[in-house]
Each structure stands twice: as C-alpha cells, then as structure tokens.
Structure 1
C-alpha cells in the first residue's frame, strides 16, 4: 500500500534536505518526487518553512530513537562506549545509506543562529537528548558505576558535545581519526566520574 501523500512528502523532504540542503531543494522537486499534487502538498504544508519544521521534528525523532537504542543496551558506561562505537562506525561505513553526520547538526547549520521557528525546534530536540542521557547516567550512579556527586546534566552535555563535535569535524575533514579519538575522549570523560 502506498503511503499517504503527507508521509511521501515528508520522506522525500527528509532525504533531499539531508542530501542537497534546505535552500537547494525546491517545493516543485519534492512535489514531483513524492508524486503528489501541488494542492495536496499545500493542504499538508502551507509553506516550505512549515515543511522544514516538520522535517526537523522527524529528524529529531529518528536521532532520539537511535540514541535510545544505544542507551538501552548500555547497562554500564563501558557498554555505552562499545555501543556508541559500533553505532557510529556502522553509520559511516554503511553501503546502504548516504551518511553525512547527524541530520540535526547538518540541518541546523543551514540557518542563522536563533532563526525562528527552526531554532525553537532544534532546542527542543537537544533538551530531549539531554533528558534521555540524564536518565541513563542516573541509573549508572544508582548502580555504583559513577560517583554520587556526578552531575548528570554536565556529563550528558559533554557526551553529546563529544559525539556531535567528532561528527562535524569528520564531515569537514573526512578524517576518521576524529571518529576513533571520540571514543577515547568519552572513555576519559567517563573515567573522571567513575567511582573509585
């Protein structure tokens, strides 16, 4: 069964905005590739900006689900390093996908800092990531893997920053050393919080 016009439009836009960029993708291209009537497009998305916001939300869900899968498998901080290593390496070496880095980071760099309504969506996504990491870090503390005075939010932000920073630098340079070094950096950051 063919997906609904709204879903087709959203999937094409997610793909095109990721591969070509927001400003290099036209509404007519999305309409044609999604095999949707122009009137139907505007029924679902009154403007390109509206479509952009919906794409950001969809990327946010995708990345949140990806992080959640990694963190669910991570009973310990060492498990997290292993799971994150496997997940990132699978992404950058996959022959089945066109991977350029985190879609949220890539998309956010296409707009001026603070541009409404996009910046509000990006902020909401980061808050969700932080909450997810904070919950996992709190569990690691309860189980005695981390010091009781570890700041969950500080550690969550550091791990997210290391991840995003490594991917951006890999994307800029195409040097995989940024990817291999991020795992050592995460280990060192987690060691600082390890219970002695």
Structure 2
C-alpha cells in the first residue's frame, strides 16, 4: 500500500537533504522521486523553506529517539560510554546506510548562523537533547553514582559537545581516531563526577 504524499515527500526530502544538501536538492526532484503531483506537494508544503523546517523536526525526532534509547540502556556512567560506543560505531560502519554524521549538525551547517526559521528549530532540538541528558544525570545523582555537586546541564552539554565535535571532525577528516578519542574523553569527563 502506498503511503500518503506528505509522508513520501518528507521521506525523500530527509534523504536528499542529508545526502545532497538543502541547496542542491530541488523541489522538482523531490516531487518526481516521491511520485507526487506538484499541486499535492504545495498542499502539504507551501515552500521549500516550510519543507526544510519539517525535515529539521523529523531529524530532531530521529536523533532524540536515538539518544533516548542509549540513555535508557545506561544505568551507570560506564554503561553510557559502552552504549554510546556501540551506537556510534554501528552508525559509521553500517553497510546498509549512508552515514555522514549527525543530520542536525550537517543540516545546520548549511545555513548562516541565526537564519530563520531554521535557527529556532535547531535551538529547540538541542534544548530537548539537553533535557533528556539532564534527566539521566539526575538519576545517576539519586543513585549516588555521581557527585551531588555535579552541574547537570554543564555535564549534559559537555557530553553532547564531545559527541557532535567528534562526528564533525570524523566527517571532515574521515579519520576514525576522532571517534576513538571521544569515548576516552567522555570517560575522562564522567570520571570527574563519579563518587570515589
């Protein structure tokens, strides 16, 4: 059974914006590949910009679900490192996908800093990431796995920063040492907070 035009358009746009970039993907290409009538496209997305915002939201959900699953499987800081390692290595070595790094980071780099309406969407996504990391860090605190004095938001931001930075440098250089180093750096950062 064929999916709805909106779902098909969004699926093609997510793939094409990720692989080709926003500016190198035309609406006509998306219409053709999604097997959608032009009028139907514009019924769902009045402009390429509105489609771009929906793609950002979809990427945000994908990454949020990915982070949430890793954190769900991380009852301890040590388990978090192990789960992150498995998840990242699976992504960069997967044969059935074309992985270039975090789709939010890749998409955000295509626009000038602060460009609206994209900038607000990126900001909201990062805020959600921080929130789910903070919840896990609070749980570690309650279970006496990390120091009560741990600044939850600072630790969350450091872990996200290490993740994003390593993937961007891996993407730029194709040097897997950036991936290897991120697990060491995350462990070092978490060890500063672990109760002795």
TM (norm. structure 1) is 1.00
CA distance in structure 2 between the partners assigned to 1:102 and 1:3 by the alignment? 26
1: CA distance, partners of 2:77 / 2:164: 18
Partner of 2:95: 95
| Match in the other structure for 1:2 | 2
Residue 12 of structure 1: aligned partner: 12
Aligned residues: 196
Deviations 1:91-131 (A, max 9, x none): 00000000000000000000000000000000000000000
Q: Aligned partners of 2:85 and 2:142: how far apart in 1? A: 24
Structure 1, residues 12-70: CA drift from partner, whole Å, max 9, x if none?
00000000000000000000000000000000000000000000000000000000000
**CA–CA distance in 2 between the matches of 1:41 and 1:89?**
37
Aligned-partner Cα distance in 2 for 1:165–1:94: 20
Q: Which runs of 5+ in 1 are unaligned?
A: none
Per the normalisation by structure 2, the TM-score is: 1.00
Q: List structure 1 runs of 4+ shifted beyond 3 angstroms.
A: none
| Residue aligned with 2:148, SS | coil
Q: Equivalent residues in 2 for 1:112-127 (5 A)?
A: 112-127=112-127
| Runs (5+) with no aligned partner, structure 2 | none
Query: What RMSD in Å do the two structures reach over aligned CA positions?
Result: 0.3
Alignment partner, residue 39 of structure 1: 39
